[in-house]
Structure 1
Amino acid sequence: MQRNRVGTSGLEVSELALGTMTWSRDTNADEAGGQLDAFLNAGGTLVDTAASYAEGGSEALIGAMLGGTVARRDLQICTKAGIRRTASGGFVDASRDTMLDTLDESLARMGTDHVDLWLVHAYDSRTPLEETLHALEIAVNSGRARYVGVSNFPGWATARIGTLATGRPSIAATQVEYSLLQRGIEREVVPAAADIGMGVMAWSPLGRGVLTGKYRSSIPADSRAASEHLAGFVDPYLNDHSTTVVEALATAAEGLGATAQELALGWVLAQPHIATAVVGARTAEQLELSLNATRNRVPAAIVDVLDEVTAPPLGYPERR
């Protein structure tokens, strides 16, 4: 598997990152272990998690693996903080105390003294960016995080925190949703990241699973769209536009002897602004289909056609 630099930082990661959002909840320890084995055997290095995934269960499962047969040196760990859980639910909180307390809890769950990349999970409109940035600075200076970044930040906030970081540990990465069904970051986030030197990490590069083609005729009983806690995550992409894109993918895949999943993920990997794409799966077999995208590159002509079919509308002020 190819390795890429994350922006202009010194951090180098595998072009695919293993997503663990469902670990310990929908994906049990045996399946998670199978996924990690397949990922490492394919040359993958970066595992992506968050303190809020399964209320810490994902990180705890990673910690159990690190305490067993997986060596810490074989993994690069990316985790996130900034979602605080209360009795009434979770809310965004990127304050300094919550961020640092959450990081310490993450390290304890995973049984490690540092993470390779630590991200602010979401933009917090109530906390000054200077305060959030100070938490990132403390994490790096204390050795608890090697690199830091943001996630789900709008373009202006991406540019602002990157500029504020001048003279401090730089903001190495921004993790944002990106796929053939969601190309909104191309308007402002990608240009901002490029100007500052941030690498872009794509989450949900398979359009929340819709681009695999599994929903072409129905909703499988074992799919995310049929899950009580994930149905709302998938539903926004079960629409006419998605159907058009999925059918175009299916047609191209048939002609190439590939799968729609390989083409959808391959298109993301072909974008020069993407450092890594985060892929999750329920089983090791599902993950193998994503790993195939790193072995069989999408022809440039197909990339161009998919670009044209899915190009996001641009208007003022991006285009005049």
Structure 2
Amino acid sequence: MYTDGACIGNPGPGGWAWAVPGGRFASGAAPHTTNQRMEVTAALEAVTALPGPLQVVSDSTYVVNCFRDRWWEGWMARGWRNKAKQPVANRDLWEPLVEAVRADPGRVSFRWVKGHGTDAVNDLVDRLAVEAARNQRGRTGLGTPADLGSADTVGRRGSAAVGAAGTAAPEGHLIVVTGHRPPALGGYDDNPVADRTRHELAEILAAKRVLHPDLVVLTGLGLGAEQLGAEAAAAADVPYVAVLAYPDPDTMWPAPSKAHFRELLAGASATIVLESRAPATRPLAGAALRRRDAWLARNAAEALVVWDGTGTDVGRLVRSLSDSLGEAEVWVVAPATTT
């Protein structure tokens, strides 16, 4: 059984769908939602509607990884909070889905499939979800409808664009969040400095979303301020886009850091990878990161930079962003102290 979700605008009008190969299908709509909510809704609707053993096949790593990597166990152990100690986004959907899966252990499994590939049923649920999002009306039936529209060209969660400097930026009012790495934020593990900084970023993003309803956070998902920016965006219910300098930047990271990176990457509304190959040396990696920073400066409307005023690398980035965006559009946030 296959599932998919779609959203026009993210947030915006959305649709979900599930289909059994050669059998039943169903779709539905929501007037104001996100890609992630539609992906989870599709799985929830399918698991609760269909009896017997099920394999949920989805192109959403957000859905599949939750069960493959057992994210839900950590969420429940922490009282439905994530590793950043923030409330789990979309808990109202995740909780009944997790309970439905747990109610009959072994009945439901999950498998990832590449989106926009050659899988006919993945294409079917894609088209059904897009149709529901556009028409704001669902349907049910058997087989493949003859009157389906085109595949997903609306904003979809988790899609990845790969290119060079000319890679297109997402739509919306774009704000980049960057700054210090963990040593200047209390360390690599959870700590009060990082917690308070994350909370402050979330408050700023929530206020900016009032001014700009189409606000989108751009983040490189590097350790430190960039990951805090993604976590703060999720807490403020603001979509974030992962902008990676090159593929798999977490290759050499410790296992816990890698797992958290993958969780944040799965939660992004989209992923942009600027260069198709990972650099072979550290100097080449540094050059690729500088090219990424230049791309961010060209495409963002504003910047939030976590900086204590002393780090030369971050200071250089602040000056570069100020030159590109104007000083008034670069907001410096000092790391929150524990006092």
Q: TM-score of the superposition, structure 2-length normalised?
A: 0.27
- In our comparison, the structure showing a higher alpha carbon Rg is 2
- Normalising by structure 1, what TM-score? 0.29
